[in-house]
């Protein structure tokens, strides 16, 4: 009888120690580590700290869940892992099964720690930089919401336009045609912009892709600024301010 009692006691002690060890190892989410998780993933392709990109800004997310932070960490972690849409719009967020539960909770804790005024100024890509008036070779007056030429005088294009030319003709040309003239697989993007496609629509389409049209999502490969550079190059081509081929630039 005594041996049986000792056995029960040992079992209870062992179980208690296991519970204690598990509780001790379940560390609370680490917002500091979460920043590294966010920057090491594709999150910043579709989100920014202080302005909307494809998805909401992190400051807006933090504001929305300020009153239920602890619950939100668990809820949002599961949503990020599974992906989906509906809360902030119809553009789907891709799933992230490669991230561990601990990584997801740390990342969400960092997102929810953001406050208005943190994170620096909004990306200059979103701002556009104001209106710039030009005349194309046909003598037509046109306006761009970005600077096309160095010193605002042709022929040398800005570094952003040139980088957009490089990236477009390295990746986008496969479907949309070299020099943004349209291809057999995908439409002429000059026409899309000329018919009213906005910068925000262009960005969302590029990052999220069009699965129904066979277009891949570029989130995780391109950053917002790089998509903006591609947009500016195509828009400058649409306005007939940049000719086909390699445009002259500061490198010349």
Question: Which is more confidently placed, 120 or 201?
Answer: 201
Q: Within this chain, do residues 46 and 70 fall inside the same structural domain, yes or no?
A: yes
Residue among 134, 151, 129 nearest 242 (CA):
134
Q: Has residue 68 got a pLDDT over 80?
A: yes
Q: What is the pLDDT of residue 129?
A: 63
Domain boundary among 79, 112, 145: 112
190 and 129 in one domain?
A: yes
The pLDDT of residue 6 is: 47
Q: Looking at the structure, do residues 138 and 35 belong to the same domain, yes or no?
A: no
Confidence at residue 54, expressed as pLDDT on a 0 to 100 scale: 83
Percent of the chain with pLDDT over 70: 85
Within this chain, do residues 129 and 224 fall inside the same structural domain, yes or no?
yes
Tell me the residue range of the domain where 227 lies: 124-238
Question: Residue 211 above 60 pLDDT?
Answer: yes
**9 pLDDT above the threshold of 50:** no
Residue 24 confidence (pLDDT): 39
Residue after which a domain boundary falls, among 112, 143, 165: 112
pTM confidence score: 0.74
- Co-location of 146 and 227 in the same domain: yes
Final residue of a structural domain among 112, 135, 153: 112
Q: Once rounded to an integer, what is the mean pLDDT over residues 157-167?
A: 97
Number of structural domains the chain divides into: 2
Would you state the pLDDT for residue 124? 44
- 214 lies in some domain: yes
Indicate whether 11 belongs to any domain.
no
CATH number, position 180: 1.10.760.10
pLDDT at 39 over 90: no
Does residue 52 form part of some domain? yes
Residues 76 and 39 in one domain: yes
Identify the pLDDT of residue 45. Answer: 81
- Is the residue at 118 inside a domain? no
Same domain, yes or no, for 96 and 129?
A: no
**Do 90 and 155 share a domain, yes or no?**
no
Percent of the chain with pLDDT over 90: 47
Mean pLDDT (whole number) for 227-250: 96
Looking at the fold, whether 85 and 154 belong to one and the same domain comes out as no
Question: Looking at the domain assignment, is residue 223 inside a domain?
Answer: yes
109 vs 14, higher pLDDT: 109
Question: Is the confidence at residue 31, as pLDDT, over 50?
Answer: yes
* 131 & 227 share domain: yes
Going by C-alpha positions, the residue among 47, 100, 48, 53 that lies closest to residue 78 is 100
Q: Are 135 and 222 in the same domain?
A: yes
Band of residue 83 on the pLDDT scale cut at 50, 70, 90: confident
Per the prediction, the chain carries an average pLDDT of 84
Q: Is residue 133 scored above 60 in pLDDT?
A: yes
Question: Is 201 within the bounds of a domain?
Answer: yes
Same domain assignment for residues 59 and 88: yes
């Amino acid at each position: 009888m005594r041996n049986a009692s000792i056995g029960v006691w040992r079992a209870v002690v062992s179980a208690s120690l296991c519970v204690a060890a598990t509780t001790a190892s379940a560390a609370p989410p680490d917002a500091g580590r979460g920043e590294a998780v966010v920057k090491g993933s594709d999150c910043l392709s579709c989100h920014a700290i202080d302005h909307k990109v494809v998805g909401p800004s992190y400051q807006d997310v933090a504001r929305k869940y300020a009153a239920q932070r602890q619950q939100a960490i668990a809820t949002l972690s599961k949503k990020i892992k599974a992906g989906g849409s509906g809360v902030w719009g119809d553009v789907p967020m891709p799933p992230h099964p490669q991230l561990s539960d601990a990584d997801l909770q740390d990342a969400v804790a960092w997102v929810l720690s953001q406050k208005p005024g943190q994170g620096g100024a909004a990306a200059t890509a979103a701002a556009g930089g104001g209106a710039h008036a030009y005349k194309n070779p046909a003598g037509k007056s046109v306006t761009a919401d970005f600077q096309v030429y160095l010193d605002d005088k042709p022929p040398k294009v800005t570094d952003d336009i040139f980088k957009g030319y490089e990236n477009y003709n390295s990746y986008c040309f496969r479907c949309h045609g070299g020099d943004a003239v349209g291809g057999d697989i995908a439409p002429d993007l000059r026409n899309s912009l000329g018919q009213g496609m906005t910068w925000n629509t262009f960005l969302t389409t590029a990052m999220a892709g069009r699965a129904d049209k066979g277009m891949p999502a570029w989130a995780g490969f391109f950053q917002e600024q790089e998509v903006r550079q591609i947009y500016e190059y195509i828009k400058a081509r649409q306005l007939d301010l940049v000719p086909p081929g390699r445009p002259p630039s500061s490198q010349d």
